[in-house]
């Protein structure tokens, strides 16, 4: 396991990560209660979606860069 993989929490397909308290506090402020939760029930639910969205954004950028490089090499 590399330092970037996180620690196993006993479940085969899950890892833990450490986040700064200040970042968690900001998330809790936005999604901390049912009334103003912006559609999120928990902090982990928000964090998982935020990570998925960022990964999709980066993957799309990679695809676009690959496409541009292929066009330039023609």
Cα-Cα-Cα-Cα dihedral of 57, 25, 37, 61, to 10°?
0
Q: Which residue has the higher pLDDT, 37 or 59?
A: 59
Domain edges within the chain: 7-72
Q: Which residue has the higher pLDDT, 71 or 5?
A: 71
pLDDT digits (tens, 9 = 90+) for 1-57: 455 556 666 667 888 999 999 999 999 988 876 667 788 888 999 999 999 999 999
- pTM for the complete prediction? 0.73
SS3 state of residue 74: coil
SS3 state of residue 6: coil
**Around 48, how many Cα atoms within 13 Å sit in the side-chain half-sphere?**
9
SS3 state of residue 15: strand
Tell me, what DSSP letter sits at residue 5?
A: S
Q: What's the confidence (pLDDT) of residue 8?
A: 60
């Amino acid at each position: 396991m590399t330092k970037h993989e996180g620690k196993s929490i006993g479940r085969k397909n899950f890892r833990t990560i450490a986040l700064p308290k200040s970042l968690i506090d900001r998330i809790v402020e936005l999604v901390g209660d049912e009334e103003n939760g912006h559609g999120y029930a928990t902090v982990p639910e928000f964090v998982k979606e935020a990570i998925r969205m960022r990964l999709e954004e980066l993957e799309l950028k990679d695809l676009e860069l690959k496409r541009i490089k292929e066009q330039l090499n023609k």
